[in-house]
Structure 1
Amino acid sequence: MDVEVNSLISPDQTWILWAFLVGWAAISIVLEQKFTWASKLSGAIIALVGAMLLANMQIIPVESPVYDAVWSYVVPLSIPLLLFQSNIVKIWKESGRLLLIFLISSIGTVAGAIAGFYILRSFIPQIDMIGAMLTGSYTGGSVNFAAMAARFEVPEGIVSSTVVADNLLMALYFLVLISIPTISFFRNKFGTPYIDELEKNADNDNQAASYWQRKEISLSDIALAVGTSFAIVAVSFTLAEFFTNLIPEDANVFLTILRGIIGDDYLMLTTLTLLLVTLVPKYFESINGAQEIGTFLIYIFFVVIGVPASIPLIIQNAPIILVFAAIMVLVNMIISFGVGRFFKFNLEEIILASNANIGGPTTAAAMAISRGWVKLVGPILIIGTLGYIIGNYLGTMIGLWFGSMM
C-alpha cells in the first residue's frame, strides 16, 4: 500500500530544497568545527538528524527529484575529488583486510535474514521476496534491491513498504556506527589506529577544526579540481555503460561477473581515478582544495540520507517489515563486531565494512571522510562496490531457499 504524506515544502519546489540541502550541510560543517560538542557528535550526524527531523515533522518531502539529483550527480563528482591524493600502493595493502571483514559482514547479513525468516515467517506472507530484496540491499546496495524486486516479480506495494523500512534502518544504523568511535567500551576492546593518529595530530579538542585548517587555494585549483572530476565521471560512466551494453545480461557465469565488475559505474569511476592518480601523480598532487570540495559534496549527501527515514510511513505501511530488517541489521552487527574482535580487526575497518553492507559503498566512504579516515576511503569504495556483485547472488539464493519452505 502506497501512502502519500503531504509536506509544507512540496517535492517540486526545487530551489527551496536545494537551499535546504546545501545550507544545512554548510551549517553542519560550521557547527562541527566551531563547537566541541558538535565535533564529538560529528557534522555527519547533525546533517542526517536535522533532515530526518524535518522529514518526520512533514516540513520537507520524503521524495523529490532534487534528492535523486544528489545521488546521480553530487555523489559521483565527490568521489574523484576525494581520491586525488590516494596512494594506490597503500590502498592495495588496506583492501585485503577490508575485503575479509566485508565478506564476514556479508555472512552476518545472510545469517540475519535466516534468523528473521524463522522468527517472522508466520507473520509476513511475502517474507521470501522481502528476504531476497533486503539480503541483496544489505550486501550491496539499492542496485541489488531493485534487481531482486525484478527477479522475484515483487508486488509494487511490498516493494514500497520494504524501501521505507530499508531507508529508515539504514539511517538509524548509520547513526549507531558513526557514534561507536566515541564510546569508550568499543575504544577499549578494539584497535583504533586511524582514530589514534587523528587525535595525536590534533592541536586542540576539536579534531574537525584541526584537521580542516585553512590552506592556500587558487581559482585555478578550483577550476582544475572540478573540471577534472567532471571529465573522469563522464568517461567512467560512459565506459561502464559501453561494457554493460556489450556483454549480454543473460550470459554465462563468468561473463555475468565480468559485466558486473567493468559495467558498474562506481567501480569503473574508482578504478579509473586511481589509475590516473598513479600515472600522473604530480598533476593531482598540485591541485589544492579537491578534498575540501569533495567533502562538502558528501555532506550534502548526508542530508539526503536522513530524508527518507519517515516514521509515519513505516507505521502506516508495514511495521513488521521494519522488525525483519532490524533483525538482519542486528545480526550483521553482532557477527561483524564479534568475529572482527576475534580476528583482531581494527574498529574503523569493522565499522566501514558493516556500513558498506547495510548502506553501500557511498555511505561507507562518506563515513570514512567525515571521521577523517582518508586512507580508507579508496579501499572501502572498491570493496563496497564489489558487494553489488555478491548481493545479487546472495539475494537470489535466499529468495529461492525461503520460497521453497513457504
Structure 2
Amino acid sequence: MIYSIIQPDDTWILWAILAGWAAVSIYLEQKYSWASKISGAIIALIGAMILANLNVIPTASPVYDTVWSYVVPLSIPLLLFRSNILKIWNESGRLLVMFLLGSIGTVAGAIIGFFLLKDIIPGLDKIAAMMTGSYIGGGVNFAAMSAKFEVPGEIVSATVVADNLLMAIYFLVLILIPTLSFFRKKYNTPYMDEMERGTNSNDNMASSYWNRKEVSLKDVALAVGTAFVIVAVSFKIAEVFDNLIPSGENVNFLLNVLNGIFGDNYLMLTTITMLVVTLFPRYFDNINGAQEIGTYLIYIFFVVIGVPASLPLIIQHAPLILVFVMIMVAINMLISFVLGKLFKFSLEEIILSSNANIGGPTTAAAMAISKGWSKLVGPILLVGTMGYIIGNYAGTAIGIWLSNL
C-alpha cells in the first residue's frame, strides 16, 4: 500500500478535493483562454494525476467507489435530457452520420488491436469492451463496461492511465490540426472561415457559452428528482431481468446476450432515459440546468479517473495497453478523416466527431466553444449524448463476442 498524505478513509477531505478540483477546472476553463483551449476535462484529469503521483491523495478509496456507483449513474440521465432521437436527427443529422462513421473506426480498431495483442495482454477482451464503449460514448460508458464485465481493479487502473495519457495527447493533436495548412487546403472549413471573418481567435468563449441561465428551484428539483427516479426504476427493471434470464458458463450464448442487454444496469438506464425523453419531449425541454448539473458531475468523474495506478503497475501493464488504445485511436482517426473527406464533411465536423468518440460530448463541446465554432456546440452535445447510448451497446457486443473467441 503506497503511503499518501490524505488517507483513503478521510472521506470529507477527499470529497472536498474531488468536488473542489472539478469546480476549479471549470473555473479555469471559463476564465483563461489557455485553459479553454485544453478544456477543463483535461485539467481535471491532469490535476488528479499530479496529486496522486505526489502521494497527496490515495490511488484507491471508498470515496472513488461512491463516484462510480452513484455520481456516474445520476449524470447519465441528466446529460441525456436532450437526447430526443427525433431532435438529434432533425437538428444534427449530418454530424450524427460523421459520428457514426467514426464509431465504425472505433469498433474496427478494437477488433484489429485485439487480434494483434490478445496473446500478450491479459484480459484484453474486457479492455476492448471498456474502450469500445468509452471511444464511442465517454467516461460513463467506460465505467458501465468495467462494472458490467467485472474487470479487475488493477486492469481498470492500468487502462485508465493509458487512456488518460493518450486522450491528452490526442486532444492536443486535434487542437493542432486546424492550424496546419495541409488540412486547411484538403478540407472545407466553413466554420473557421466564418469565425475568422468576425471573431478574435484569442477570445475565450467557454464563459459565454456556459453563461448564467434562468434556473429556478423547480428546475433543480425536477432535474435531480427525475434523474433519481429514472436511475432507481432502470436499475430495478434491470435487476428483475437479470434474475429472470439465466446467464453463466453453462448457459447458451443467446441467453447470455439477452441477459447482457436486458439485465445490465447501464444499458437499461440509457434505454429508459432515451425512451422517456423521446416520448415526453416537452417535459424535459422545459427543465433548465440539467446539462449543467450533469456536466459538473462528470467533471467529478474526470477527477476520479485521473487518479493513476501505482508506478510498478503502470510499468507492468500500461505500456502494452497504451499500444492497444493507440491502435484504436489511430484507426478511428484514419477512418474519420478518410471517410469524412470522401463524403465531403467539413474539417470541423470531422474533428469534433472524432473528439466526441474518444472523449465524449463534454470535451467535444469544450473544443467547439474554445475554437469559436459556436454553431456546432449544440449539435455535437446532442450527437455526443447519443454516443452514450450507442457506446454501451457496442461495448457489450464487443465484450461478449471477444470473450467467446
The TM-score bracket by the shorter chain reads 0.7 to 0.9
Q: CA deviation at 1:50?
A: 0.6
Q: Structure 2: give runs of 5+ residues left out of the alignment.
A: 134-141, 368-376
Aligned match of 1:113 = 114
Question: Of the candidates 38, 61, 69, which is equivalent to residue 41 of structure 1?
Answer: 38
Once the two structures are superposed, the pairs formed by residues 1-400 of structure 1 within 5 Å of their partners are 4-91=1-88, 93=93, 98-116=99-117, 127=120, 129-140=122-133, 141=142, 161-183=154-176, 184-185=179-180, 188=184, 205-250=203-248, 251-307=251-307, 309-310=308-309, 313-314=310-311, 316-317=312-313, 319-344=315-340, 346-353=350-357, 355=358, 364-368=360-364, 370-371=366-367, 372=377, 373-397=380-404
Relative distance call for 1:192 and 1:137 in structure 2 (3 A) is: farther
Provide the aligned C-alpha RMSD in A: 3.1
- The equivalent residue for 2:136 is none
Distance of 1:229 and 1:196 partners within structure 2: 40
| Structure 1 equivalent of residue 373 of structure 2 | none
Aligned residues of 1:85 and 1:277 also touching (Cα < 8 A): yes
The answer to whether the 8 A contact 2:362-2:381 is kept is: no
Structure 1 residue 351, shift from structure 2 partner: 3.0
Report the more deviating stretch, 196-205 or 175-184.
Answer: 196-205
Q: Would the alpha carbon gap of residues 143 and 76 (structure 1) be closer, same or farther in structure 2, given more than 3 Å must change?
A: closer
Distance 1:272 1:383 in 2: 14
Q: 1:192 to 1:389 in 2, by over 3 A?
A: farther
Aligned mates of 1:226, 1:198 — CA distance in 2: 36
Following superposition, the deviation at residue 215 of structure 1 comes to 1.2
Shift, 1:369, TM fit: 5.5
Provide the rounded CA distance (Å) in 1 between the counterparts of 2:66 and 2:83.
27
Query: TM-score by structure 1 length?
Result: 0.80
What's the offset of the Cα at 1:382? 1.2
Letter in 2 for 1:377: G
Contact 1:368-1:376 at 8 Å conserved across structures? no
Q: After alignment, is 105-114 or 8-17 more displaced?
A: 105-114
Give the percent of matched residue pairs that are identical in Structure 1 and Structure 2: 46
Please list the CA deviations of residues 82-119 of structure 1 after superposition, one character each: whole Å capped at 9, or x if unmatched.
222333114355666544432332221232234346xx
For the 8 Å contact 1:147–1:392, the answer to whether it is kept is no
Which letter maps to 1:106? Answer: V
Deviation at 1:23, TM superposition (A): 0.7
Structure 1: runs of 5+ lacking an equivalent: 122-126, 151-158, 356-362, 401-406
The number of equivalent residue pairs is: 367
User: SS of the residue aligned with 1:75?
Assistant: helix
C-alpha deviation, 1:385, in angstroms: 0.5
Change (3 A) 1:175 1:30: same
Q: Tell me, what secondary structure is at the counterpart of 1:7?
A: coil
What's the CA shift string for 1:362-383, capped at 9, x where partnerless? x635434544531123210111
Q: Which amino acid aligns with 2:354?
A: I
Change (3 A) 1:200 1:394: farther
